[in-house]
Amino acid sequence: MKDFEDVQLFDLYGALLTESQREVCKLYFLFDLTLSEIAEEKGISKQAVSECLKKSRTQLMSYEEKIGFSKIMAKLTAKHPELEGELAEIIASGGEEE
C-alpha cells in the first residue's frame, strides 16, 4: 500500500500538478500500478516515472508546507470527529457541490 500521507496530499493538491504528473500519480497512488506498468502505459522509461513521482511528491509536500490544509483538517476533525466523513466526501468530489 502506498504511503497514506502521499495519497492524502495527492487528494488535496493533485489538481495543482501538471496533467502528466497527475496521470502518473493517479496510476501509482490510486490504481496501485508499479513503475514498470506505468512506464509501459505511458510509453516512457521506468526512470522517467520514478523522477516524475519524486518531483510530484516534492511539490505536494511544498504545497502542504505553504497552505497547510492537511494540518487544518487534522485539527478540525480532532475537535469535531463527526466532520471527518463529510470532509473526505468534499475532497473526493473535488469540492463540487451536488
Q: Which domains does the chain have, with CATH numbers?
A: 4-92 (1.10.10.10)
Q: How confident is the model at residue 32 (pLDDT cuts 50, 70, 90)?
A: very high
Q: Summarize the confidence of residues 66-86 as an average pLDDT.
A: 86
Q: How confident is the model at residue 88 (pLDDT cuts 50, 70, 90)?
A: confident
Consecutive H or E run containing 72: helix 69-79
pLDDT exceeds 50 at position 58: yes
Which pLDDT score, from 0 to 100, does residue 48 have? 98
SS (H, E, C) 1-42: CCCHHHHHHHHHHHHHCCHHHHHHHHHHHHCCCCHHHHHHHH
Percent of the chain with pLDDT over 70: 93
- Whether the predicted model's global pTM rises above the 0.85 cut: no
Which pLDDT score, from 0 to 100, does residue 1 have? 46
Q: How far apart are the first and last CA of the chain?
A: 31
Sign, CA torsion 88/92/94/98: negative
